Structure 1
Amino acid sequence: MTPTRDPVFEVGPRLAMGALLQGAVWADFATVRDAVGAGDSVISKHARSLEDAGYLEVSKGAVGRRPRTWFRLTDAGRTALESHLAWLTSLSDALRAPTGAPPPASSDR
């Protein structure tokens, strides 16, 4: 797999949601909201963006009489997230690698 930047995951809540859901079969809305530390409307908005990209599956139902929403990453979402994380890692590695040129002297800045 070639690491690829994915603009869908460049928004903090979406990356956080993807990272959380990567290790879950299904996660309920409240769990995602609390783990990401965002409000209901923020989670709803970003869930819709992930769903529109084909990265998130949403299931609605009820527990007793209370409505519930559950999320899980699709196979495409898992692949895209994995590739984006690999891209971020390669970017981080590149930033830490020496370039071969010394930094400019303080009087040259």
Structure 2
Amino acid sequence: MTRQAPAGGAEAPDAFDNVIHAPQRLRICAMLDAVNQIEFSLVQERLDVSASVLSKHVSVLMDAGYVEQRKAVRDTRQRVWLELTATGRAAYRGHVAALRKIVDQAPE
């Protein structure tokens, strides 16, 4: 796992995103937002889900253009690495901002 430097410049628009909102996809995006890239198996381990469940969620995020995957050989085995695209990072941060607005507007 490699750390992602904070993005400079423009803030993501506050936009609730139904693709990201599903709990496991939200967790995937949160993990990916904190790094440049992360190995599929580590995400699977941290989320405590099967490879097929994670693969389905990643496919939805990839179809939306939010996640890219890269395959590489490491230790003589093929590994899959995941990363947020710029579009995915902006969508995730916008979604989080929209959720914060909802929480901040809740009556005390």
- Give runs of aligned pairs for residues 35-74 of structure 1, distance below 5 A: 35-74=46-85
Match of residue 75 from structure 1: 86
Residue 85 (structure 1) aligned to one of 76, 81, 96: 96
Whether 2:104 is the aligned partner of 1:96: answer no
- The root-mean-square deviation of aligned C-alpha atoms, in Å, is 1.2
Quick check: 68-77 or 29-38, which moved more? 29-38
CA drift of 1:58 comes to 0.4
Identity %: 33
Gaps of at least 5 residues in structure 1 are 98-109
* Larger Rg, first or second structure (1 or 2): 1
User: Which residue identity is paired with 2:46?
Assistant: A
Q: Kindly tell me the number of residue pairs found equivalent between the two proteins.
A: 97
TM-superposed CA distance for 1:35, in Å, is 1.4
**Counterpart position of 2:32:** 21
Q: SS of 2:105's equivalent?
A: helix
Query: Gapped runs of 5+ residues in structure 2?
Result: 1-11
Deviation of residue 2 (structure 1)? 3.6
CA distance in 1, matches of 2:90, 2:13: 11
TM-score, structure 2 as length reference? 0.85
Q: Distance in 1 between matches of 2:104 and 2:17?
A: 18
Shift >6 Å, 4+ stretches? none
After superposition, what is the alpha-carbon deviation per residue over 1:21-73, rounded to whole angstroms, capped at 9, x for unaligned? 00111100111111122111111000000000000010012113211000000
Which residue of structure 2 lines up, in the alignment, with residue 10 of structure 1?
21
